[in-house]
Amino acid sequence: MPRRDPEALLPLKPKPFHILLALEEGGPLHGYAINKSMGERSGGTVSMDPGGLYRLIARLERDGLLGRTEAPPDETDERRQYVDITDWGRAVLRAEARRIAGLAALPSVRDLAGPGA
């Protein structure tokens, strides 16, 4: 398999970024848990409906950033579909995190954001 460059997929849009971040921190997760995690982390500004979320999951799965996984043994609802971040997804997420951190470290960005940021 040819070596791929995660930078080629950057920048990530906020929703894919939040999905990958939720999976990285708490994965594997099902749709509702991902949405809840995104909502908590973004202070309620990022929220998705099932169709939109699963359309995005389908795209991320097709691009290899996440994959289906087995439900944990304690799961009682068999219809819940669990996904988890892949190594490739983790590499892309890290690249995006570095990009954001680099931006945030810029003095002019800090000045623009103000003292409370």
Q: Which residues bind another protein (CB under 8 A)?
A: 8, 30-32, 35, 49-59, 62-63, 77, 79-81
Q: Which is nearer to another protein, 3 or 101 (CB)?
A: 3
Q: Which is nearer to another protein, 77 or 87 (CB)?
A: 77
Q: Which is nearer to another protein, 15 or 41 (CB)?
A: 15
Task: State whether residue 42 is helix, strand or coil.
Answer: coil
**Shortest distance in whole angstroms from residue 54 CB to another protein:** 4
CA-CA distance, 34 to 96, in Å (whole number)?
19
CA-CA distance, 106 to 112, in Å (whole number)?
10
**Shortest distance in whole angstroms from residue 79 CB to another protein:** 4
CA-CA distance, 96 to 13, in Å (whole number)?
10
Q: Which is nearer to another protein, 53 or 93 (CB)?
A: 53
**Shortest distance in whole angstroms from residue 61 CB to another protein:** 9
Give 44's DSSP letter.
T
- Number of Cβ within a 10 Å radius of residue 103: 10
**Shortest distance in whole angstroms from residue 51 CB to another protein:** 3
State the pairing for strand pair 82-85/66-69: antiparallel
